[in-house]
Structure 1
C-alpha cells in the first residue's frame, strides 16, 4: 500500500525522508484530533491513520534491511573488482613485453610499465583516454624513432594507421642506438585492440650477423670463382663505384694499383683506359659513359674492342637488380685467328676437292666403262664356255652308259665332278656379270615352296652326307610370289655355303609364316661368322678361310644382289662357335592370301594341325605314348620328353623351337612343368605352353596364369585341346595384323596373345 504514497524511481534515502514526513504529519493530526472540540468521527479516522502509519513503518524497516544487504553486496563486489584489477595489473607488470589495451573507441584504458619502454619521452605523456591516433602521432614525433633513409615520419604515420585497420598485424619498428621492437596488434571481439611490444634487438642483431657472415662467405666464393674464369669481370654498385674485379681483368689491362681499389669511380677507370689507348679507336669510351649514366633498367650492352696490338676483346655490360652493373671482357684474338685460318684452309680445301672431284669423276667414268666391258666379256665368255661344257657333259653321260672297268668309271666320275665345279663357277660368274651390267631381270610369279624345297633336299643331301652332316628340310605348303630361278639360286648358295662351313652337326632349312610373308631360314651348326666379318662376306671373291675351303667366294655376293633385285629382305644372325642363320623374307602369293582369307570347303580345307611341332613333356610313359598317338592322329608332329634335359636335347637335335609345349605339372626328380617351360622359354623365346595337371587347387591356376600358361586339368578335355592347338598357327600368322585390342579372358587366344605383347 505504501507504493501509493511513494512515486517510483526514488532512492532508499529519498524514500526514508518521504516516509518520515508522512509519519510526522500523521502524528500531528492525531494529536489535534484528541481535543474535545473534535468530533468523534475524526478520532476514528486518526486511529485508522495510525494503523496505516504502523504498517508503513514496518514496511520501511524491511526496505531499510534490504538496502543494507544490497549495500553490503555492492561493497563486496567493489572489493573483488579492485582485487581483480590489481591482479590484472600485476599480471601485466609481470609480462616481459610492453602491453596496452585500447577500447572500441580507440581510447587507452590499460597499459603496463614496459609499454613504450624504448621511447622514454612518451611515458610521461601516456594516460588514460589517450586516442590511438594521438598515440601514433606521439611515437612518430619521438626522437628515439629511427626510420630508414627515404621514409618520412608522415609516411610512417600513414602506414601505421593503415595497418591498424586490419584485425591482426605484426611489424618491426627500428629505434635509435640499433634497438628494435616488434609490435603486434590483435583485434578483440569487443572491438578493442590489444597492443604488444617485444624487444627483438638481440634476434635482429644475430640474424644480421649471420647474414653478413653468409654474405662474406658467398663473396669469397664468388671471388674465387671469378679468379678462375677466362673472362675479365668488374662489378660496380649503384653509384658506379668499383665493387669487385678478378685477376683476369687486371692481367688484361694492367692498370695502376690505386685504380683497382674498392670504391673507385667508373669514370676514373675509363679515363685511365682511354689515356693508355686500351679501348682502341672509335667511340667506345663515349658509348660506355652514355650507357653507365643511363636509366637503371638499361638494356644489355655488347661491344667489340680492337686494340692497337691486334688483340680483340668482346665487352659485355649487364645491369643488376640493385641498380649496379657488371662488365665482362673476353679475349677473342685466338678464336678470330683460328676462324680466319680455317676460312683460308677451307678455301684451299675446296679448290683441292673440286680438282680431286674432277679427277675422280674421270676415273669413275673410265672404271665404269672398263667394268661394263669386263662384265659384257665375262657374260659372253661364260655363255660361250657353257655351251661346249654342256656338250662335254652329254658325252660323259654317253660314256658312262658304256661298259667301263672300275678305274675308268672312277675317272669318269671325277671328270663329271670337275665339269660340275667348272659349270658352277661359270654360272656364278655369269650371274655376277648380269648384275654388274644391269641385265638381270626378275619375273615374279606364284611359286609353291614344297616342290622347290624337295628338289633342294634331293640335290644337297648327298653332299651333306659326304661331309658327315645331317640335312633337314622342313616341308611347307606355302605359295610365295617371287622369281623361281633367282629364289632357287639364293637358296642353293645359302645351303651350299652352310654345308661348306659346317664341320659337324646339321643344316636345317625351313619356312615360317609371318602375317602376309614367309621367312625362309637356313640354319647351320658351323663355326659362325665374327661380327666384324659379317659385312665383308657379301663382297665378291671373299671367303672366311681361303686356304681350307674351295670355291671363289661368289655365293653370298650373288645372294645379296639377287635378294635386292627381288626386294626380299635378307638377314644374318651368327654366334661364333655355335652357328649361323640366314633369313630371307618372301611375300605370300595373292593366291595364298586369298586361300587363307576364304573359308575352305570340306574337301579342300587344310588341317591347321598339319606339321604343327608339339613338344610333350610327361614323365608317365603310358600317358605320354597315348598323347603322342592322339597328336599324330590329328596330323601334328609331336616330340616327346620326360624331363627338362630330354626336352632340351630333342629341340637341340632338331634345331627348331616347338610351336607349343604340353607339360605335365608333376615331373620326376622334383621338376615341375611351370619351371621347365620357363627355362625352355629362356633358351628359345616365348613358346606357347599348356600346363596339364590333376591338381585342381586355385593357387596352381594363379601360378599358371602368372607364368603365361593355359591350365587344363586331367582328364584332359580332348575337344578343347584340339581347338586350342588349331589356334596356335593362326595366331602366329596374324601377329602382324593385330589391331592392338587387349586380349579378353575366356578366349582361347588370351594366353597366346599375352606372349606377343
Structure 2
C-alpha cells in the first residue's frame, strides 16, 4: 500500500517528503485509535517498519548519487587530460622542424603540422584532417611549386608516388622550383597507419653538388697533369669527332704545329697531317680509319702502327667512349721494334744452331738406341746362354739328393742350390730390366681376379717368412682389377720378397683395399723403415740401403723393376715409411664392377699322385749337358728316358721304335730346321694330343704367344725340379 503511494521515478527529496507526510498521518491515526484489540499498536509497528525501510532506501540512494558524482568528476578530468595531451601532441609536432603528417589505416589524414607540404603554398589550405592520401598525392602532383622530371606528366608522377606508398619504408628526394629539395620519409605504423616526414635538404644537396664540382675540377687537373707527364701522346675527341683535349707529347711525336691543336678542330683536319709525313701500316688505310671514326656506335678497339719518316715507329691505340667520343694514344715503339728485329735475326741464327744441334742429338740418340738395342740383345742372349748351364746345374744337383748322401754333402748341395736360385733371380731381374728399358715389354691388360694370385703368393712366401721367424699374412680379396697378371705377380713378388728380406722381426702383411673405383694393394712390414732422403733413391738400379750389392743378397734391382712395371701398366706406386716402425708400399689398380666382371674359372681339381714307374719320357734338347741332367733326374724318379737333339731326329726315332712316349719335354731352340713349337705342331698332327711342355730361356712375348696359340704350357729355364715334378704328377 505504502509502496504504491511512492513513485520510484520521483527524486529522492520528493520521495522523502511523501514518506514524512505518510508517517505523520499514521502517527495521528495511532494516537486517536483506542480500541481494545490493539489495532492501533499494530499500525504503529507497521509505520515504524516502513520508516526503517525508507531510511535504508534513502541511504542507498545517497550512496549511488555520490558514486555518480565521483564518476562524472573523473570523466571530466580524463577529458581534460586527453584534450591536454592532444594539445601537447599538436604543440610537439608543431615544434618539429620537419613537415609531419599522420594517416590512419584507411589512408585518411588524421593530423599534420604547419610545415607539412613545405614549399607548396598552393596546397596548404587543402591539408586538413579527413583528406585521403590519393587526394593529397594528386594535389601535390599538380602543384606549381613541384618541378617534375624531364618528360614526365603530373599523372605519371602521381602513379609512381602511389606505387612507392605500397612499401613499408620509403625515402626519396623531391625537387622544387628555385633549386630547392625536400626529402620525403614514409614509414608504416603498427596499426597500419602511415607517418610522413618532410625535410628540407636543399643546403645538403647544394653542398654536395659544390663538393662534387670541386672533385671534378681536381680530377680534371690530375688528368691534365697525368697526360702531360706520360710518355704517350693522347688526343680526345667528342661524339662529333672534334678535338676536346690533348697533351704536349702528342705534338712532339707527330711533329704537328701547336696552331693546329685547338679545341673544336675536326679529326679530318688533323688527318691531313698523316698524309704529309706519316705512313699507315699493319693493313690500316685512310678509308678504314675514317670509317671507324665516323661510326655512330659499336666501335671496337683499334690498334695499328704508323711510321714518321724512316726512323720513328708509333703504335696507335684507339677506343670509343660511352658518350660517343673516342681516345687515340700514340706510343713510340721504335726501340722495341729494333730490338724485336735484332732478336728475330738472333733467333734465326739460334734456330740454325739449334737445328744443327738437333741433328747431332738425333744422330747421338739413334746411336744410343742402337747401342741400347745391342745391349738388350746381348743381355738376352747372354742370359739365355747362362740359363742353359744353370738349368743343367740345378737339375744335376736335384738328381744327387737321396739316401746315402752324407749330411755334410746334403748341406753343401742345399747351399749350392740356394746360390743357383740367387743367380737365377738376378738373371730374371736383368732380363726384366732389359725389356722394360728397351721398350720391348708388351703387356696384356684384362680382367684379373686377385684371389688366385694372392693365394699363390701366400703359398710361395709363407715358408720363406717362417724360416726368418716372421709371420706373413696375406688377406685374400675377391676384387677383380684391370691389369696384366704376369707383371702384377712379378710386382708383388718383388715387394713381398723385399719386405721379408729387410724385416728382422715382426710380420709382413699383404692386403687389398677398395677406394672408390680403385683397388689399392698394400704390402706392410715392420722393418727398419726408409729415411725420407732415400725414398727416391731406392727405386734406382743397384741401390740398396745399408747393404753391399752381391749375388747372395741381391743386386738391388727388385724395386727398379717394380717402378718400371707400374709405370708401364699405369698403376700409381706409393710409399709410406716411418723409421723404426716399418714401411708400406702401395699401388692402385682400376677396379672392375661386379656387373662387368667376367666369371672366375673354378680352381682345377688336384689329381692324386700317381706312380711314375714304367712311363717313358722323350727329351728333345740340343744342349747335351742339360739333356743329361734332366735324364738323370727323370731316371731317378723311375722313368725311362729317350732323347734327341732336333725335331727331325725325334720324329725319326719315334717312327723307328713304333712306340709313342707318355710325355715330351721340348726345347724351343733346336738343332735342325724345326723350332720346338714346329715339332709339337707336327707331333700332334701325326700322333694326336700328347702331354707336352715347351722348355725355353727365351722370355719374349712372341715365344709366349706362339706357345699359347698351340695350347702348350711353358717351363722356363733354369728348370725348377718342383715345376717338372708337378707336370709329371698330373700325367694320366
Query: Normalised by the size of structure 2, how large is the TM-score?
Result: 0.46
- Which structure has more RCO (C-alpha within 8 Å, separation ≥ 6)? 2
Query: Normalised by the size of structure 1, how large is the TM-score?
Result: 0.44
